Structure 1
Amino acid sequence: MQQVQASNLNEEAKAAAVAAAQAMIASTAGALMTATAALTQVLLEESKSTSGALVSTRA
């Protein structure tokens, strides 16, 4: 975004480029949140079926 702001583009073109970059960032963040939620769900389901499997019971 800094490159866009420093470029010789007119203000309208700069604003459009910045808005496009922000939209891509928001889309990526949303995709990461979706993937994180799915992974969390899988881990929770796995932990129910393997409760204690990763915990050492030896002192």
Structure 2
Amino acid sequence: MDDKQIDFALYILGFVGLLVLLGGAFSFYEFKYGLVGAIIIWFIAGAYRKYFGVPNN
């Protein structure tokens, strides 16, 4: 994958994690489910970053 595609995928994963967290904060579902879901998504994004060797900003 190109660097731009990897960066785009990482930004999308971060944004999705934020949406899941905000869904819990605004009572679309329980907050603990939103928090756990967001942490899992962000963990996957971190592993994805490490796998492709993308440096931290």
* TM tier, smaller: 0.3 to 0.5
TM-score, length basis structure 2: 0.46
Q: Which has the higher relative contact order, 1 or 2, with Cα contacts under 8 A spaced 6 or more apart?
A: 2
Structure with the largest fraction of helix = 2
